[in-house]
C-alpha cells in the first residue's frame, strides 16, 4: 500500500494545468454506449475511477484505448447487459451505466451499488424515474434486474432533490426513448452541461441543461463524436487550497472560472487574491489566513460538497472560527478526526463542523478514508511543521491525477513511497 510523505511549510510557485473533470468523464464514458462507432474523448483524466469505467465498457463488448489524455471508445458491438459485482463495487458511480445499458439493449442487470465512505448513496430517484419511463425493475438479493423490451418512453420526471447522478442517468436514458422527457428540479452542475454537449454532438436533442428544467426529445439513434472534457473544478479548488495554506502564489491553466463562482468568494474571505482571465486563474495567498464565514454545501451553483474537505483543512490554520454545514452527504466529516491528530481544533455535531483556527498544525501519521478527505490531508500536510505520512493513497488516486507530482513540480516536498 503506497503512502504519501509530506514535509510542510514549503512555499509553492509556478504554473500548472488543471486535469479534466472526473465527474464529467464518467457519465460521458457511460453515454458512449448509446453510439455505434468511435468516440474520441479529449482531456480525459487518467484515474482509477475512469479505469474502472473502461473495464465495465470492455466487459460489455466495447473497445476502449487511451493515449495520454485522449480516450477512444468504440461501442459497435455490445453483447452483454450485465455488470458483474466485482466491477460494480469498484466505484459506486457505476450506477450511471444503468440508463445507458437499458436504452441500448432493453435490459440491464447489476448489483445494488454499495454505499461508500461518505454515505448510503441511495438510488431511489434513478429507479423511480426509469420506472416512470416504462422500465420494469426488480430488486432482489442485492441485484437490480431491469427490462424495457418495448424500449423506454418519454415522461415528465420530477426529482425530489437535484441529484447529479439521477439527472445524468435520466438524460442518457431519454435520448433514445420514444417521445419527450422533461426533468423538473434537475441538477445544474457544469458536468450536466458537459454531458448534454457531448450527447447533442452525437445527435441528441437536449434543451435546458444547466437550468432546473431539462427537456430531452427522443431520437432514433446517435452517432459517435469527439469531445473535450471540461476542467475539474474540484481539483482546481484543491490546488487553490494547497497554495492558500503555504502562503503561495500559483497560476492555474485550463480553468473555467465561472464554475468556481461559489468557491472563489470563500478564499477571498480568507484574504486570498484571485484573478481570472481567459482560462487562467492567478491565486495569491496572504501571509496569514483569515477565517472564512460560514460555508454551506449546496447543489450547484451553491458551494460544492466535494470542496468542503479541502477548504476545511485550510480553515484549520486560519485566524478565527469557520463554521461548515454539510447539506449533501450524511457522513462527510471523516477527515476531521485525522486533522485533529495533526493539532486541528474541530468540533462536529451532525452536519455542522466548527473549526477554531490554530497557529499551525504538526505532522503525524494519518489515514485517508475517502477521496476528498484524502485531499484534505494533503492540504493539511503542506501546512504542517515537520513530516506527515498519509496512508490510504488509493482514495486520492480515484480523483487526482498524480497530485504529488503536480505539487512537487510547484515546489512542495511530497513523495509517494
* Nearest distance in Å: CB 371, ligand EPZ: 5
Among 122, 179, 279, 365, binds ligand EPZ (CB under 6 A): 122
- Looking at beta carbons only, is 193 or 285 nearer to ligand EPZ? 193
DSSP H helices, 135-278, are 164-174, 190-201, 233-245, 264-269
Q: Which is nearer to ligand EPZ, 12 or 378 (CB)?
A: 378
Full 3-state SS string of 272-328: CEEEEECCEEEEECCCCCECCCCEEECCCCCECHHHHHHHHHHHCCCECEEEEECCC
Give the closest residue to 211 by CA, choosing from 106, 300, 330: 300
Q: Could you say which of 121, 131, 201, 416 contacts ligand EPZ (CB under 6 A)?
A: 121
CB 351 within 8 A of CB 321: no
305 part of the interface to ligand EPZ, by CB under 6 A: yes
Q: Is 123 in the site for ligand EPZ (CB under 6 A)?
A: yes
Q: Which residues have a catalytic role annotated?
A: 116
Rounded (10°) angle between helices 190-201 and 22-31:
30
At closest approach, how far in Å is the CB of 97 from ligand EPZ? 12
Q: Rounded distance, CA 328 to CA 119, Å? A: 10
Q: Which of 119, 203, 210, 302 binds ligand EPZ (CB under 6 A)?
A: 119
Q: How far is the CB of 396 from ligand EPZ (least distance, A)?
A: 11
Among 55, 104, 126, 188, binds ligand EPZ (CB under 6 A): 126
Residues 377-406 that bind ligand EPZ (CB under 6 A): 399
Regarding 124 and contact with ligand EPZ (CB under 6 A), the answer is yes
Residue from 166, 172, 186, 368 in contact with ligand EPZ (CB under 6 A): 166
Alpha carbons 266 and 262: distance in angstroms, whole number: 7
Minimum CB separation from ligand EPZ for residue 138, in Å? 17
Binding status of residue 114 toward ligand EPZ by CB under 6 A: no
> Does residue 375 belong to the site contacting ligand EPZ (CB under 6 A)?
no
Exactly one of 117, 197, 306, 326 binds ligand EPZ (CB under 6 A); that residue is 306
- CB-nearer residue toward ligand EPZ: 13 or 122: 122
Candidates 164, 222, 355, 384; binder of ligand EPZ (CB under 6 A) is: 164
Q: Which of 134, 165, 271, 310 binds ligand EPZ (CB under 6 A)?
A: 165
Task: For residue 372, state whether it binds ligand EPZ (rule: CB under 6 A).
Answer: yes
37: alpha, beta or left? (left if phi > 0; alpha if psi -120 to 50)? left
* Residue 23 interacting with ligand EPZ (CB under 6 A): yes
CA distance 316 to 242: 13
The minimum distance between CB 101 and ligand EPZ, in angstroms, equals 17
If binding is defined by CB under 6 A, does position 26 make contact with ligand EPZ?
yes
Quote the CA–CA distance of 13 and 340 in Å, as a whole number: 28
**Residue 353 in contact with ligand EPZ, rule: CB under 6 A:** no
Q: Which helix (H) or strand (E) holds 6?
A: strand 3-7
Here's the x/- map for ligand EPZ, 74-93, by CB under 6 A: it reads as: -------------------x
Selection from 146, 148, 166, 149 nearest residue 157 by Cα: 166
* Closest listed residue to residue 3, CA positions, set 396, 401, 322, 382: 396
Q: Write the DSSP symbol of residue 110.
A: E
**Shortest gap between Cβ of 34 and ligand EPZ (angstroms)?**
18
Residues binding ligand EPZ: what is the number (CB under 6 A)?
24
3-state helix, strand and coil shares in percent for the chain, rounded to the nearest 5: 35, 30, 35
**What is the nearest approach in angstroms of ligand EPZ to the Cβ of residue 307?**
9
Residues 182-241 that bind ligand EPZ (CB under 6 A): 187
Scanning 77-85, 104-112, 120-128, 377-385 for contacts with ligand EPZ by CB under 6 A, the matching segment is 120-128
Residue count of the chain: 417
Instruction: Mention every residue, 6+ apart, whose C-beta is less than 8 A from residue 122.
Output: none
In the bound state with ligand EPZ, the residue whose beta carbon lies nearer, of 15 and 124, is 124
Q: How far apart are CA 388 and CA 366, in angstroms?
A: 7
Give just the sign of the alpha carbon dihedral 407, 397, 378, 386. Answer: negative
Alpha helices, DSSP H, located in 95-232: 97-105, 124-132, 164-174, 190-201
Judged by the rule CB under 6 A, the positions of this chain that interact with ligand EPZ are 22-23, 26, 93, 119, 121-126, 161, 163-166, 187, 305-306, 328-329, 371-372, 399
Amino acid at each position: 500500500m503506497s503512502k504519501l510523505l509530506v514535509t510542510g511549510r514549503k512555499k509553492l510557485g509556478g504554473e500548472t494545468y488543471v486535469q479534466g473533470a472526473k465527474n464529467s468523464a464518467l457519465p460521458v464514458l457511460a453515454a458512449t454506449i448509446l453510439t455505434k462507432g468511435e468516440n474520441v474523448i479529449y482531456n480525459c483524466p487518467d484515474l482509477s475511477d475512469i479505469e474502472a469505467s473502461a473495464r465495465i465498457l470492455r466487459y460489455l463488448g466495447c473497445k476502449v484505448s487511451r493515449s495520454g489524455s485522449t480516450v477512444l471508445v468504440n461501442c459497435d458491438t455490445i453483447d452483454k447487459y450485465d455488470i458483474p459485482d466485482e466491477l460494480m463495487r469498484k466505484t459506486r458511480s457505476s450506477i450511471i451505466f444503468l440508463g445507458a445499458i437499458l436504452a441500448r439493449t432493453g435490459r440491464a442487470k447489476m448489483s445494488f451499488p454499495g454505499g461508500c465512505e461518505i454515505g448510503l448513496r441511495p438510488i431511489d430517484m434513478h429507479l423511480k424515474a426509469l420506472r416512470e419511463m416504462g422500465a420494469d425493475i426488480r430488486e432482489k438479493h442485492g441485484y437490480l434486474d431491469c427490462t424495457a423490451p418495448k424500449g423506454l418512453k418519454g415522461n415528465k420526471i420530477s426529482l425530489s432533490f437535484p441529484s447529479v447522478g439521477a439527472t445524468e442517468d435520466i438524460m442518457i436514458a431519454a435520448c433514445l426513448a420514444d417521445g419527450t422527457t422533461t426533468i423538473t428540479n434537475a441538477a445544474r452542475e457544469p458536468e450536466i452541461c458537459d454531458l448534454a454537449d457531448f450527447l447533442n454532438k452525437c445527435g441528441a436533442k437536449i434543451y435546458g441543461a444547466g437550468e432546473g428544467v431539462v427537456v430531452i426529445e427522443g431520437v432514433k439513434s446517435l452517432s459517435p463524436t469527439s469531445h473535450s472534457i471540461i476542467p475539474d473544478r474540484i481539483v482546481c479548488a484543491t490546488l487553490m487550497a494547497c497554495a492558500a495554506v503555504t502562503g503561495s502564489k500559483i497560476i492555474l491553466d485550463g480553468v473555467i472560472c465561472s464554475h468556481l463562482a461559489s468557491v472563489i468568494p470563500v478564499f477571498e474571505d480568507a484574504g486570498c487574491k484571485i484573478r481570472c482571465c481567459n482560462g487562467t486563474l492567478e491565486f495569491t495567498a496572504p501571509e496569514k489566513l483569515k477565517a472564512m464565514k460560514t460555508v454551506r454545501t449546496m447543489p450547484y451553483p451553491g458551494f460544492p460538497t466535494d470542496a468542503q474537505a479541502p477548504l476545511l483543512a485550510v480553515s484549520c490554520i486560519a485566524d478565527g472560527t469557520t463554521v461548515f454545514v454539510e447539506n449533501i452527504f450524511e457522513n462527510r466529516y471523516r477527515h476531521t478526526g485525522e486533522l485533529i491528530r495533526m493539532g486541528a481544533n474541530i468540533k462536529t455535531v451532525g452536519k455542522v463542523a466548527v473549526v477554531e483556527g490554530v497557529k499551525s498544525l504538526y505532522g503525524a501519521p494519518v489515514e485517508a478514508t475517502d477521496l476528498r478527505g484524502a485531499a484534505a490531508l494533503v492540504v493539511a500536510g503542506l501546512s504542517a511543521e515537520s513530516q506527515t505520512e498519509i496512508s490510504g493513497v488509493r482514495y486520492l488516486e480515484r480523483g487526482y491525477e498524480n497530485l504529488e507530482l503536480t505539487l512537487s513540480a510547484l515546489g512542495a516536498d511530497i513523495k509517494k513511497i
